[in-house]
Amino acid sequence: MSLDKDTVKNIAYLARIRVADDKLEPMAGELSSIMDWIEQLQELDTEGVEPMASPVAVDLPQRKDAVTDGNCQDAVLKNAPDSEDSFFAVPKVVE
Partner 1 sequence: MTKLTDLTIAGARDGLNNSDFSATELAEAYIQAIDAGGDLNAYITATPDVALDRARASDDRRAKDAPLGAMDGIPIAMKDLFCTEGVLTTAGSHILDGFVPPYESTVSANLRSAGAVMLGKTNLDEFAMGSANITSYFGPVKNPWKAQSGPLVGKDLVPGGSSGGSAAAVAGGLAMAATGTDTGGSIRQPASFCGIVGLKPTYGRCSRWGVVAFASSLDQAGPMTRTVQDAAIMLGAMAGHDPKDSTSAPVAVPDFEAALNGDVKGLTIGVPKEYKMDAMDPEIQALWDQGIAWLQAAGCTIKEVSLPHTKYALAAYYIVAPAEASANLARYDGVRYGLRVAGDSLDDMYMNTRGEGFGDEVQRRILIGTYALSSGYYDAYYIKAQKVRTLIANDFKTAFEKVDAILTPTAPSAAFALGERQDDPLAMYLNDVFTVPTSLAGLPGISLPAGLNGAGLPLGLQVIGRAFDEATVLNVAGALETAACFHALPGTDKGAAS
**12: enclosing H helix or E strand:** helix 5-14
Q: What x/- string results for residues 12 through 51 when contact with partner 1 is judged by CB under 8 A? A: xxxxxxxxx------x--xx-xxx-xx-xxxxx-x--xxx
Q: Are 36 and 2 in contact (CB under 8 A)?
A: yes
Ramachandran angles phi, psi of 6, nearest 5°: -70, -40
Q: Are 4 and 28 in contact (CB under 8 A)?
A: yes
| 55 scored as a contact of partner 1 (CB under 8 A) | yes
Instruction: Pick from 4, 6, 25, 76 the residue near partner 1 by CB under 8 A.
Output: 76
| 1 scored as a contact of partner 1 (CB under 8 A) | no
Q: Are 28 and 5 in contact (CB under 8 A)?
A: yes
- Catalog residues that contact partner 1 under the rule CB under 8 A: 3, 7-8, 11-20, 27, 30-31, 33-35, 37-38, 40-44, 46, 49-56, 58, 60-61, 63, 72, 75-76, 78-82, 88, 90-93
